[in-house]
Structure 1
Amino acid sequence: MGAGHAHKLYRPGHSPVHTLPPHCKLAATFAFVLVVVSTPREAVWAFGLYAVLLAAVAALARIPAGYLLRRLLIEVPFVAFAVLMPFVAEGERVEVLGMSLSVSGLWGAWNVLAKGTLGVAASVLLASTTELRALLLGLERLRLPPLLVQIATFMIRYGDVITDELRRMSVARRSRGFEARGVRHWGVLAKTAGALFIRSYERGERVYLAMVSRGYTGSMPVIDEAAAATRAQWGRASALPLTALTVLVAAVCLTG
């Protein structure tokens, strides 16, 4: 794997959560999300306990609440979708503030919001306490197909390169007096997108040829492999999903 690549989501620290091996945190996050998705939507109290568990992890990792909440804004499109569900769903209706809402739509909206928010929060905590390079090493440690890991590596490394290229093209347009103000300018923006695709493709070819000339044979060299986790580290990482699993069992028993 190549050198480190910092990301805006990562928040450096030396907390007990930061020091856990990346593959342990990946497995724990996946298991936690699986438990949350499996929880009956009627068990409202269970989702509250899941939120408390994530808050405890955030406190242990020294991640400020404001930092976490700002990054939860990424789920705004899902919130908009959930808000529409009570209005468009069919079935039994109920009056809320003078509006006729679908009961099944209300439950569906709650289901999307609760599970989606918890899943996004768990992912943000994972990204905030683990470097991207470490995450990729963790995926390799979990035996993810090497080709998928390489694709993810290149996406991470050259996403910023393409973004910078687009920024330079935007600066060039503005320096020539161009401002996108209406539909009539969509043609220029479409040409910009086409030019960006061609430049990205050509740059990808140049990068590939440079890699081949330096001995690339289909696999990236690993600079520092993720160390095997100890039983104690697996135990600490499994505390979150196991506690959530206990809540799930109780929720199923009470709602069943």
Structure 2
Amino acid sequence: MSAEILHHAGDSPVHRLPAQVKIVAALLTVIGVVATPREEFWAFGLYLVLIVTVWRIARVPVAHFAKRALIEVPFVALALLMPLFGGAAGALAGWNILAKGTLGVLTSLTLAATTTPRELIVGLQRLRTPAVLTTIATLMLRYLEVIAAEARRMRLARISRGHDPRFLWQVGATARGVGALFIRSYERGERVHLAMVSRGWRGAMPDRGVAASPAVWLAGLTPVLVTAAVLTTALVGHA
């Protein structure tokens, strides 16, 4: 699976924003959504309109998000079951999970759709994320496809030798294959680390990002300002 399966290539104003601005905007937007009282139904509708507006500006089709939002299905099922066990209070709790969970997922998908994995790593570096975390994330993204390709080759090799993963008694072979994949990945990681050290690796990834000007920050945080206005109105009305 591609490391950029969530990304939708484009050249919109949203795509061109520095990653650190989009990361902060997404985080603050989710915090605002979570802090909104669950009884203020209108506020969640406005949040959804705000997200769809960002999609239009980014020129990313709704279908792109609809397919990837299926990850939320278990939470949707839980929210739909809660009224059966909790009555009116359960229905309100289910709505709370469904509304805030859906908006959080859509916000995260919007960030991923308009920012490549490499840009996300650079953005985290610009936000002074600990170097060890950004290094681990960088290597994980870099070798995810390598490990996936290795797993496919091992699977084809087993099938060509008569392995049928549908049969229960073949589970031992599958388990041994997973173990072999782990050992190969570990050995590959050691070789990569030695190669990096021999080329001057000092434990920190180079920062190739660009600083964002105050004007860019203001433009990128516009959705946060809208979210803050909606949240403030909701809190005042709920008081």
TM-score normalised by the shorter chain: which range applies? over 0.9
Q: Which structure dedicates a bigger proportion of its chain to helix?
A: 2
User: Counterpart of 2:202?
Assistant: 217
> Which residues of 2 match residues 51-66 of structure 1 at below 5 A?
51-66=48-63
Whether the 8 Å contact between 2:83 and 2:89 is mirrored in structure 1 is yes
Unaligned runs of 5+ in 2: none
Report % sequence identity.
50
Q: Which runs of 5+ in 1 are unaligned?
A: 90-101
In 2: Cα distance, 1:238 partner to 1:29 partner: 9
Are the aligned partners of 2:32 and 2:227 in contact in 1 as well (CA < 8 Å)? Answer: yes
Q: Aligned partners of 1:41, 1:185: CA distance in 2, in Å?
A: 50
The root-mean-square deviation of aligned C-alpha atoms, in Å, is: 1.6
Give the match for residue 142 of structure 2: 157
Aligned residues of 2:30 and 2:104 also touching (Cα < 8 A):
yes
The normalised TM-score by structure 2 is 0.94
CA contact (8 A) 2:33 2:100 kept: yes
Matching of residue 140 in structure 1 with residue 137 in structure 2? no
User: SS where residue 17 of structure 1 aligns?
Assistant: helix
Please give the secondary structure, in 2, of the residue aligned with 1:18. Answer: helix
Letter in 1 for 2:176: K
1:6 deviates by 6.3
- Cα distance in 2 for partners of 1:160, 1:135 equals 18
**1:237 alignment partner in structure 2:** 220
1:47 has 2:44 as partner = yes
* TM-score normalized by the length of structure 1: 0.88
State the Cα distance separating 1:41 from its structure 2 match. 1.0
- Structure 2 equivalent of residue 118 of structure 1: 103
Match among 143, 154, 171 for residue 186 of structure 1: 171
Instruction: Note the alpha carbon deviations across 1:64-110, whole angstroms, 9 max, x for none.
Output: 11112111112122223323333444xxxxxxxxxxxx222222221
Aligned counterpart, 1:14: 11
Q: Which residue number corresponds to residue 28 of structure 2?
A: 31
Q: Indicate whether 1:247 and 2:199 are aligned.
A: no
The 1-side partners of 2:27 and 2:90 are apart by 27
Aligned partner (choices 205, 210, 226) of residue 209 of structure 2? 226
Partners of 2:85 and 2:161 in 1: CA distance: 47
